[in-house]
Structure 1
């Protein structure tokens, strides 16, 4: 009696599986071709349009510093041109014009940083995590340098009555701050070069590159992952990279599921 029960259970379970397969419309429907699925999932590479803005800001910054030096020397250091400067500057002092222009340049940098951050967030969501981390400091350093310069200019303007004992000392200090702020120009140029290289190479997302390196390891593309802990590695960087990767994979899997269901439903209707 007991020996006959297992075949009965096996027969019943096989019948249930067969019945579930017959009732599942997704399995009865036509299979999705790999070409259709790949074309629906893979996105076309989108270039970053921020390199020209970085180059333009670099040019404006250099031009601003040069014009500020010329204006300060022509209208403040040289006493013979003061009447002509008052006529062209509407009785404004050269200090005032330079500070106003500096504020305008700082506002342009703030706008640039916000626009760049928006584009880089999209790049991060598309899976280019390594590029996002490599340019994170470059895009924020210029605004940091100029904000520090603004604080220095405020200190110079506040201490101007104390510096009146030395002729044109406050003006020279102001010009010195402007020259030091030129350190932001190499950051902008390096950022522009990195973005142009990124646009020219049009790479695939980091996950796809890692999958290719896992499948075809070679001496030029060694197999390397962030799994585990190695000597000299920064644990915070590893955790941050894995968190970004997990977030991207969650979004990618969600999009993949929606595309598969949509394509399956479309083929069933056809």
Structure 2
């Protein structure tokens, strides 16, 4: 009985092996995707962040506003020029009111600029540039903070009960101080984004994979917790990385399906 037992199950095992080999042969005989085609399909072209143009335009508008405000303050408010010219240009509107209206309009432009910057930086974050997003996270909100503080100082100056001449000089001082602080912030932001666009680096995950592959002593990535790092910051980085990997895997699955259908 013992000698006949294995022989009874031998055909079943052989049939299983035959079916497996048939399935494997069918997979091997199917259309194969070359590594070059897969790499070219997965690789996406670098997309620049267009916000330096917006920052340059905002800086130019700020310079024009400060120059025009000084002209209006000197010629129309302090009345050091011809009153007829100011009256023909401004009409019944006071010169200091024109400066305040211009300041409100400039702040509204800064608000639009901040929203535009947030949109483009979020897109860069979704493409895997998490390090760039974090390096400019506070910098992109700094112009709006500076202009908002300028509005607060402007309201304080308008609320102070002093002579019109002193109030005008204080108003110009606030505008000058705001200009000296806001313009370097915009220029520094422009330099950082232009450097990012010029480098055209790969996403952070690809850079880490490349460094781990070709470096002799690979350093630990920023995903894990290290001494001296904030736990909240590490968790946030991990969440960003997981979100990017999900989007990357979804794109990769779609590209694989399309390439399989083409072959």
TM-score (norm 2): 0.87
1:19: Cα distance to partner?
4.6
- SS of residue matched to 1:252: helix
1:10: Cα distance to partner?
4.5
**Aligned position for 1:17:** 20
Unpaired runs of at least 5, structure 2: none
Q: 2:77 and 2:53 mapped to 1: Cα distance?
A: 35
**Aligned position for 1:120:** 121
**Aligned position for 2:214:** 216
Q: 1:218 and 1:27 mapped to 2: Cα distance?
A: 36
Matched, 1:31 2:32: yes
Q: 1:131 and 1:84 mapped to 2: Cα distance?
A: 50
Corresponding pairs, count: 259
**Aligned position for 2:150:** 149
Match of 2:255 among 250, 255, 259: 259
Unpaired runs of at least 5, structure 1: none
TM-score (norm 1): 0.85
1:255: Cα distance to partner?
0.7
1:193: Cα distance to partner?
0.8
Matched, 1:179 2:176: yes
**Aligned position for 1:244:** 240
Output aligned runs, 1:57-72, within 5 Å: 57-72=58-73
Task: Check 1:79–1:258 CA distance in 2 against 1; reply closer, same or farther (3 A cut).
Answer: closer
Matched, 1:230 2:231: no
**Aligned position for 2:102:** 101
Task: Check 1:151–1:212 CA distance in 2 against 1; reply closer, same or farther (3 A cut).
Answer: same
Q: CA RMSD in A?
A: 2.5
